[in-house]
Structure 1
Amino acid sequence: MNILRSIAIFILAGACEIGGGYLIWLWLKNDKPLWYGIIGAVILALYGVVATWQSAGFGRVYAAYGGIFILMALIWAWRVDGFKPDKYDVIGAIIAMAGACIIIFMPRGK
């Protein structure tokens, strides 16, 4: 597995999931036009496709992605929503990322 390629795919998948979900959130919670929700739904569907580009199996990819999603969601909230993560958010994200890296990148005997 090429680690840089895998990380890039995780980041793209995260951007699709968070971005698509955010557009739907804006449509339903902030009274944005319907097309926000439609574009958000398309982007969310694209997330499902992007995740399949990983070389590991479904369960392992989605388990590792969970940790990466935590970090990306906090970064999105900080940069887009003005949310300031506290030290416990940062500690939790570091622990989640460590777990994600162990799940997806540790060598396994076959």
Structure 2
Amino acid sequence: MTLPSHPLASAALFMLTAVTEIVGCFLPTLWLRGRTGAWVLLPAALALTAFVALLALHPAASGRVYAAYGGVYVATAIAWLWLVDGVRPTPWDLAGSAMALAGMLIIVWGGRQGG
């Protein structure tokens, strides 16, 4: 299977992949810090399984996909910081996210040029 050709579908797949990875890591952290019971390990495992399945939907050139995904992950993690953790991003957080997304766009668009 390959990455969707429409840019919005690609962006949605990258964001969904990032959210499943963050959830899969966030839930065990809550348990390790004593903020919830061990029951969260099951949904965490399911989220990480979904993360791996979503990665399989990206094209075979995994190095380029993972590099591009990294930019989306950074921006998604900053959004998570605000929406879930309740911490307002700083201008530095936003600037870093913008730079990471710009790097992702260079990788993705450059890759479509046949490079």
TM-score, normalised via structure 1 length: 0.90
Q: Paired residue for 2:59?
A: 55
Deviation at 1:2, TM superposition (A): 2.3
Point out the more displaced range, 68-77 or 30-39.
Answer: 30-39
Structure 2 unaligned blocks of 5 or more: none
Q: Give the aligned length.
A: 110
The CA deviation string for residues 30-71 of structure 1, in whole angstroms up to 9 with x for no partner, is 341111022112211210110111235111111111111110
Structure 1 unaligned segments of length 5 or more: list them. Answer: none
Instruction: Report the TM-score, using the length of structure 2 for normalisation.
Output: 0.87
Q: Which of 75, 82, 85 does residue 81 from structure 1 map onto?
A: 85
Residue 107 (structure 2) pairs with residue 108 (structure 1): no
1:13 alignment counterpart: 17
**Match of residue 2 from structure 1:** 6
Structure 2 counterparts to residues 15-54 of structure 1, below 5 A: 15-54=19-58
CA–CA separation in structure 2 for the residues paired with 1:29 and 1:104: 38
Tell me the distance in 2 between the aligned counterparts of 1:87 and 1:74: 11
Q: How many angstroms apart in 2 are the aligned matches of 1:83 and 1:27?
A: 20
User: Which 4+ runs in 1 deviate beyond 2 A?
Assistant: none
SS class of match (1:109): coil
Identity %: 36
